[in-house]
Amino acid sequence: MKFEIAEESKPQLKLLILATLLSVGIWFASWYFPVARYLVYPLQLFATFVHEGSHVLAALMTGGSVQSLTVSPDTSGAVWSMTNSWLSQMITSSAGYLGTTFFGILLLVWFRYKFSSRNALYLTSGFVGVMTLVFGLLAPMWNFLTTKVGIGSVLFTVISGVLLSGGLFAIGRYAPLKWVNFSIAFLAVQCLLNSFFSLKTLFFISATTDSHSDAMNMAQATGIPAIAWVMLWIVVSIVMISVGLRLYAVSSKSANNDLPFED
């Protein structure tokens, strides 16, 4: 089937390409100039909140409970949860990487169509804020006798979550529209790239070690090797991204025709 990029999507597509090139450029620069890593450090923490928040939502939506959510200075994270079935455990374990991919695609589609970029940042800020307050602070306090979470982990999670949530809200509220639009495109790209590179890292970890991971949780639940689950997640992520880009590029009467750098 012939595929053509819709004319009205080309301005947004240019912005998306710019955000992608900038993200990849910073990533390559970090190989030779470690200081460049600090430029994307807040974005890596943001992607971790999305990853762990996806675990939280999956656990709750499948009837489980969540004892804590923590984010670490090295940008890793953990969610302690209790699931009530084998299926719930599988869905919860799979939700992290796939949820991050889905979140990035959701931002792309939101930006592509007629929805407000400022509202997208407000909602994203609210998501990080709720995850921080409810599951990063209140849940560990409520379950402090059974949760293996240190005070330092809780403090870092709360501080980083509050700063991220406040920063996203401030950009949505006070930044010019062109920078709000760029922020949405940049966050979307960061989520997609983070998911891809994290899965690549997880693939090599699963192939060479028995380290604890989402894939190892799946292996313990099913008996299927962890690396097989990683490969499945990679395939599913590629399919999701392909569908998302297709939705982004197709013509639609309801699409947002505003140029991304117009106020």
The per-residue pLDDT for range 71-85, each reduced to its tens digit, is 999 888 989 888 888
Of the two residues 29 and 85, the one the predictor is more confident about is 85
- Per domain, the residue ranges of the chain are 7-249
Hey, what long-range contacts does 39-46 have (CB within 8 A, 24 or more apart)? 40/190, 41/75, 42/163, 42/164, 42/167, 43/186, 43/187, 43/190, 43/194, 44/75, 44/190, 44/194, 45/71, 45/75, 45/160, 45/164, 46/128, 46/164, 46/187, 46/190
Residues 135-147, mean pLDDT to the nearest whole number: 84
This prediction's pTM:
0.83
Tokens of 217: 């949780």
Q: Please choose, from the candidates 190, 199, 197, 187, the residue with its C-alpha nearest in 3D space to the C-alpha of residue 94.
A: 199
pLDDT value for 125 = 96
What average pLDDT does the structure give for the chain?
A: 82
Whether residue 47 is predicted with pLDDT greater than 70 in this model: the reply is: yes
Q: Which residue shows structure tokens 């999701």? A: 240
Q: Which residue shows structure tokens 């750098």? A: 261
SS3 call for 261: coil
* Band (260; pLDDT cuts 50, 70, 90): very low
pLDDT value for 119 = 94
Whether residue 50 is predicted with pLDDT greater than 90 in this model: the reply is: yes
SS3 call for 30: helix
**What type of residue sits at position 69?**
L
Of the two residues 172 and 222, the one the predictor is more confident about is 172
Most confident of 105-114, 122-131, 242-251: 122-131
Of the two residues 142 and 247, the one the predictor is more confident about is 142
Of the two residues 33 and 78, the one the predictor is more confident about is 78
* Band (137; pLDDT cuts 50, 70, 90): very high
Residues 236-250, mean pLDDT to the nearest whole number: 77
* Band (123; pLDDT cuts 50, 70, 90): very high
pLDDT value for 258 = 43
Least confident of 27-31, 84-88, 204-208, 255-259: 255-259
